[in-house]
Amino acid sequence: MAKATEIVAKLAAPVVEAAGCELWDVEYVREAGQWYLRLYLDKEGGVNIMDCETVSRQVSDLLDEADPIEGSYIFEVCSAGCERPLKRPRDFQRFLGSPVLVKLYQAQKGRKEFAGVLEGYDEATGAVTVTVGKETMTFSKEQVALCRLRVEF
């Protein structure tokens, strides 16, 4: 049986594409005692409130019809954001050369966070290579808790 997020992604994808956006991610999480179903959108030039509203209205109707999730939840549609997490191989390939923040499960060299530039991603192993200052570091998939884009000012 498919996961709820996969079902929602299939339902939402045509609506998102028709709105001129890309479906970045679907998240179904419990926060503060409530379940949240979130669609994250991306678009060249950025996602605006009208994009979110258009997608939200249409996908909400589809969710009411298909009813892929039992129980109640709060439905949100939002931008993937400037500091979005990188999860899929295509995310890493798309943002090679970009500033990232890598968070580790366990400290390495006395710290758990490394800010640098994404230099590489090994699709076969999931290893992430980042240049931190003058040092190039590679972290295995098992070490990385989160890798997200980082905005520099």
pLDDT in tens, 78-114: 999 999 999 999 999 999 999 999 999 999 989 999 9
Multiple choice CATH, 89-149, 3.30.300.30, 2.40.10.10, 1.20.120.140, 2.30.30.100: 2.30.30.100
Distance CA 37, CA 30 (A): 9
Q: For 4-79, CATH number?
A: 3.30.300.70
Q: What is the mean pLDDT of residues 22-33?
A: 95
Distance CA 99, CA 30 (A): 30
Span(s) in the chain for CATH 3.30.300.70: 4-79
pTM of structure: 0.84
Span(s) in the chain for CATH 2.30.30.100: 89-149
Distance CA 92, CA 106 (A): 22
φ and ψ of 72, to 5 deg? -95, 155
User: What angle, rounded to 10 degrees, do the helices at 49-66 and 4-18 form?
Assistant: 130
Structure confidence at residue 1 (pLDDT): 55
62, pLDDT greater than 90: yes
Tokens 């931008």 -> residue: 79
Structure confidence at residue 75 (pLDDT): 97
Identify the DSSP state of 69.
S
Q: How confident is the model at residue 152 (pLDDT cuts 50, 70, 90)?
A: confident
Structure confidence at residue 141 (pLDDT): 95
The count of residues in the chain is 153
